[in-house]
Amino acid sequence: MEIILAVIIGLLYASGIYLMLRRSLIKLVIGIVLLGNGVNLLIFLLGGLVKEHPPIIGPTAKLIGSLYADPIPQALILTAIVISFGLQSFAIVLIKRAYIVVGTDDLDQMHTTEEEDD
Amino acid sequence: MTNNLIIIPIVFQLLMAIALLAFWRKVLTQKIISITGSVIAVVIAAFLFHKVYDGGILTMQAGNWQAPFGISFVADAFSTTMLLLASVSSLAVSAYSSVSIKKARLRYGYFPSLHFLIMGLNGAFLTGDIFNLYVWFEVIIISSFVFITLGGKKVQLEGAVKYFTLNFLASILFLTAIAVLYGLTGSLNMADLAGKIHDINNQGLVQVTAILFLVGFGIKSAIFPLYFWLPDSYHTPQAAISSIFAGLLTKVGIYALLRVFSLIFVPDDFLKTLIVIIAGLTLFSGGLGALVQTNMRKMFSYMIVCHIGFMIGGLGMFTTAALSGAIFYLLHDIIVKTNLFLVGGLVYKMTGEISMRKMGGIYSAYPALSLLMAIPLFSLVGIPPLSGFWPKIDLMQQGFFTGNYFLLGSIIFASVITLFVITRFWSEAFWKKKEDLEPKPHVKYYDAMPTLQKGLLVGPIILLSAVSLYLGLGAENIIRLSDHIAGELIDTSAYIEAVLGVNKINSTP
């Protein structure tokens, strides 16, 4: 399971970075989404995978069992998902506005910021 | 010492931002709330600073979860000093922007975003938890995205695409580093991490994590070779917005670097050399960038990049005196860079131009104001006894003592370039005879403003210049403060003890 996840994370990072290096705005956003998901899976994997042992104390037991899944990575991922959701929706609105105003989705054509104003 | 007081700067800004949301589109009410609120925030920050400086480090455990498990908030001398300066800068920007920003933009949530941004900054300064630091960074950048796109002009949107992409990438790298760190140690509390990081067998992976943090924070604080987004985006928004970006956003990256690389990853020889080389190249490339610009705001943007090198250099040498110099420079830089962009905005209001070739004649038209504007400009250069001079002595001296002659040369080079660039700006904008140009219809000229508006434009510059003058003329006190902070950064036992040793005192259910 760890191996599969590690390969998937590697693929997500690699394709995310690759798409961010492309010139198209749409590919840029897709790259951002992939990277965001890759990092969430990475936190999940590095928190340690434990199957079928939720961190919950049973109704009869007084203590939690010796082996249980670490709840902190899940809390971290939840926070990171919410944040990256907000950022990604901003990114989509931003590239839509940028496409309408600039009139191109080619990042190489976006050089107004480097032009002289005089 | 446990004290719930330290959360007040964050909660206060949050409440203020929410209150401002309730007055959506009532611009005058928003202005009044924002300025009075910012004054109160300065008082709170000053009180907290005084308490920490006299009484030692304060901590707060969120929800009373004991230290390595819950989220800790820590107020030490470094964080409260940053808090105080951020409050002063935000007061100045709040007053300045109430006049300089167009009403149409103020109506779309300018002031709430400003206070959410300050809340994020305060949180980043006060938190003692590395994941919480990430969350505050996100609060800061989401607010800054609103700022950088406010107005929606073509150049702004293009700048925003670059700004967004690089900042998102920095956040992803930061989060990756946190994930690896958590996998290695099973902890997120910075004081706890400081102890656990030495027990790890796989020190190679620790080194890799440190580099991930360096790159992540490096993008945010615009170090070489990761700074290219900054001069491409910082000149696009309005002057007041640029000034808060220049004064505080890159500096929070520096704060995080200083904190993480003194507390968790104490630099070894490899890391020191790497950081020193990066610092030297930042000084070089930022200086050369500033040299060729004729656009005033772009020149100022390259000055930001250039001067980041001084602080990174201090971190790279990692002696108490070098860190003290870096911290003094950081304090000076927050005030003077905020002020610099406010001055740039005022120059624009006076001449209607941002190209240095076309402006001129400010000195003959406004002699008193020109002398006022000379204070931040010459403080930036570091003409003694103004504030930029003192930290440079420390840094140069340490460059000699630690044998970092490359860094020493870069510091001298960057100082000379700064002197040249500012002198050129002064002679172009202030002394040159003004050309006869048609007034532009969309510019709100300074001369046409009523007295109250003029006061709100000039007042913040006076305030920040006064702080700059105090930093320079009262350097004795500031050096004492920065030595104290540097001592705490080198010897972190007081910090760790304050965070982890506090549990027993306040364990009532």
Q: Which H or E element spans position B166?
A: helix B154-185
Phi, psi values for residue B24, rounded to 5°: -50, 130
Whole-angstrom distance, CA of residue B157 vs CA of residue B163: 10
The C-alpha atoms of residue B3 and residue B264 are separated, in whole angstroms, by: 24
Alpha-carbon span B311 to B28, nearest angstrom: 39
* Rounded Cα distance, B103 and B121, in Å: 26
Predicted ipTM of the assembly: 0.92
The per-residue pLDDT for B505 is 42
- The stretch B271-283 carries a mean pLDDT of 94
Give the ranges where B293-351 is alpha helix by DSSP (H). 296-317, 320-351
A32 to B165: CB separation less than 8 angstroms, yes or no: yes
Which residues in B have their CB inside 8 Å of a CB on A?
131, 135, 138, 142, 145, 149, 152-155, 157-162, 164-165, 168-169, 171-172, 175-176, 178-180, 182-183, 186, 188, 232-233, 235-236, 294-295, 353-355, 357-358
User: A113 and B162: CB-CB below 8 Å?
Assistant: yes
In whole angstroms, what is the distance from residue B174 CA to residue B226 CA? Answer: 14
3-state SS, residue B72: strand
Concatenated DSSP letters for B181-221? HHHHHS--BHHHHHHHGGG-S-HHHHHHHHHHHHHHHHHHH
B149:A94 CB<8 A: yes
Q: For the residues B345-374, what does the mean pLDDT come to?
A: 88
Q: What is the pLDDT of residues B55-97, one digit of tens each?
A: 889 988 888 888 788 899 999 999 999 999 999 999 999 999 9
Tens digits of residue pLDDT in B95-144: 999 888 888 788 888 999 999 999 999 999 999 999 999 999 999 999 99
**Whole-number Cα distances in Å, B61 to B67, B70, B167, B342, B504:** 6, 7, 30, 38, 12
Across all residues in chain B, what is the average pLDDT?
90
Alpha carbon distance A61, B157 (integer Å): 58
* C-alpha to C-alpha distance for B180 and B182, rounded to whole angstroms: 5
Q: In 3D, which of B336, B321, B335 has the Cα closest to residue B391?
A: B321
CB contact under 8 A, B158 and A113: yes
Q: What is the pTM of this model?
A: 0.93
pLDDT at A63 over 90: no
> For the segment B180-235, what is each residue's pLDDT rounded down to a tens digit?
999 999 899 999 999 888 888 888 899 999 999 999 999 999 998 888 888 888 88
- Tokens 């599969």 sit on residue: A4
- Span B166-183, pLDDT tens digits: 999 999 999 999 999 999
The answer to whether the CB of B327 falls within 8 A of the CB of B314 is yes
Collapsed DSSP state (helix, strand, coil) of residue A118: coil
Sign of CA dihedral B185, B189, B192, B193: positive
Classify B64 in phi/psi space as left (phi over 0), alpha (psi -120 to 50) or beta.
Answer: left
Instruction: Give the mutation candidate from B113, B139, B173, B182 for the A interface (greatest A CB count, under 10 A).
Output: B182
| Residue where the block lists tokens 């492309």 | A22
pLDDT at B462: 94
Enumerate the β-bridge partners of residue B189: B129
Band the pLDDT of A115: cuts 50, 70, 90: low
d(CA B17, CA B120): 12
